[in-house]
Chains A and B, each alone.
Chain A
Amino acid sequence: MSTNGAPRLDVAAIRKDFAILETGIAYLDSANTSQRPRQVTGAMMDYFEKFNSNIHRAAYKIAEEATERYEGTREKVRAFINAASTKEIIYTRGTTEAINLVAYSWGRKNIKKGDLIVLTILDHHSNIVPWQILAAANGATIEYVDIDERGELRLDQFHELLKRSPKLVAFSQVSNALGTINPAIEMVAAAKKAGATVLVDGAQGAPHQGVDVQALGCDFYAFSGHKMLGPTGAGILYGRRSLLEEMDPFMSGGDMIKTVRIEGTTYHDLPWRFEAGTQAIAEVIGLGAAVDYLDGLGMEAVRAHEREITEYAYEALSDIEGLTLYGPPPSRRAGVISFSLEGIHPHDLATIADRDQVCLRAGHHCAMPLMTRLGVAATARASFYVYTQKDEVDRLVGSIREAQRIFK
């Protein structure tokens, strides 16, 4: 539904920024990790070749430049998700580390014996396992919100669980396996009203739609740079300042301290209290360039393009006999389509697609509880981003037909 007047992406121009696409691949695995444009790799190369040095310590010029560029990403990210302050923007290695940080630093202090944690069956392992470890350590229980036949969360069940006053509610904004866009604003509001602390896993949200953490109203928001055109190894934890102020460090050591004496240590201010040791400087600079790139495109246009491609792919795949689609209709999902083929295992399909240079994911997508719920061991998954064009979807359809011919 790319309506008239909505901003549009110039995909042909965008593709010129991605050197890897010149190899001829049809890259349909962006929900796994995206590609990075020259602007991102260039920013990282600049650091390596022009001002490579450590941050926050040295008194010479290139170190000042490195520090400035590293810290500059913080303001870009703050603006990107409309946080109130850069003190609320913590660099992590990615979503997984961000959630682990909250589970450790906030969870160990605040989750008590008998407390309830509410998660969903749609969640990625990174938003399940840290809470399972915390629940086991502190004696809490976990309940999972189920999905309906369309792969959408059972909100009736969610509201029932909220009546039991959970201490924490954590859910993904967008399902990585089905593409389901959860009604995050409504869910956060209800959970806050029930008195819960709320974490939103934005790994599949932030890359694909505009995010406003203040409008969303969550306490924590976690996402990864590498799914939004940035490099691996740099991600973000947004945390409400009043909560972060009360939290103990996660990792400790250099750079996160004010003073260290034999008698004890005082910790650094926010956000550095949570950033111990030498940081992923080049990666954070690369993440800043990725945010600039997405800002340049406009997140509204990014979402509109993904929706157009997703609708096109959904329709094309629906026409194939023996193909089962999982999840909601295209208007209610992000650029992710999970499916299976009768008589052909997803791995066999992915192998055949690979021969056509079509990069397709096959497996459980780090969402084994969801796969169990769907009654499948694995699915094939195609996912799209700003550089995806329709002829790549056509190539996928060709690979599927080829697999059906071979396995006929």
Chain B
Amino acid sequence: MLLNWLSRLLLAAFAALILAPLAIVVITAFKTRPEFYADPLSLPASWTFHNFAALFDGQPMWAYFRNSVVVTVFSVAAELLIAGCVAYAIMRSGKRMAGALFALFAAGLMVPSHVNMIPLYSLLQKLGWSNSLTALVLVTVSVLLPLSVFMLSGFMKTLPRELLEAGEIDGAGHWTTLVRIVFPLCAPFLAATAAFLFVIVWNDLLFPMLLINGKDKLTLPLALLRFRGEYITDYPLLLTGVVVTAAPMVVLFVFLQRYFISGALAGSLKG
């Protein structure tokens, strides 16, 4: 009985620990600066969108938002297609070739991005590709290949062989098999992988920081990082930036929870 109450208390306490900081941030975003300095913990006297207006006036927020959407959507789509094809090749190759391909990509799982950020940076400088969103997409796709190939080929292995062979007897080529049979069968898993990759790419700071410097090309996390320099004394405005950049992801999460959670589950088992 006592243990039951204690564990309920623990659950509630942790829920409060997650919610309280987020609530304080949202509340602060609705306060004026003088209000905030007078009492950092109070509720705003009136809920105004003053900070939101100031943020959108002072920053090309829509451009940041568009950059993030473009980079994330293109990266995730390309990632699923390219890694999906590699995983398919691994599934259909002979034992040796499949083993070699798989080992080559899986080895990359051990190399954190921070290990090769320096040579990657100089390679892109040499190619004259600095400050390009296309380069950012290509690099992002390449760096996530080990994880995605691992996740997708792990799943494709569970597909029933007979189904693929049945298609072949009917004269279906590899493309037809991939598009008509493998991808549809993988659909829920592709969605979970996409959700997992979406979070990683949308929130990434390192590669945008290495590759992007023009103000018109910033993605949301990078722009947010730069707000600190500009709004150093203005917590309400800075936290409005946090709310605005986090909101789209939170909304997506609320609606697509299932995929986020199953993606994270599969991703952590493999990653």
User: Do the two shown chains form a genuine complex with each other?
Assistant: no
Please list the residues of chain A having a beta carbon within 8 angstroms of any beta carbon in chain B: none
Please list the residues of chain B having a beta carbon within 8 angstroms of any beta carbon in chain A: none
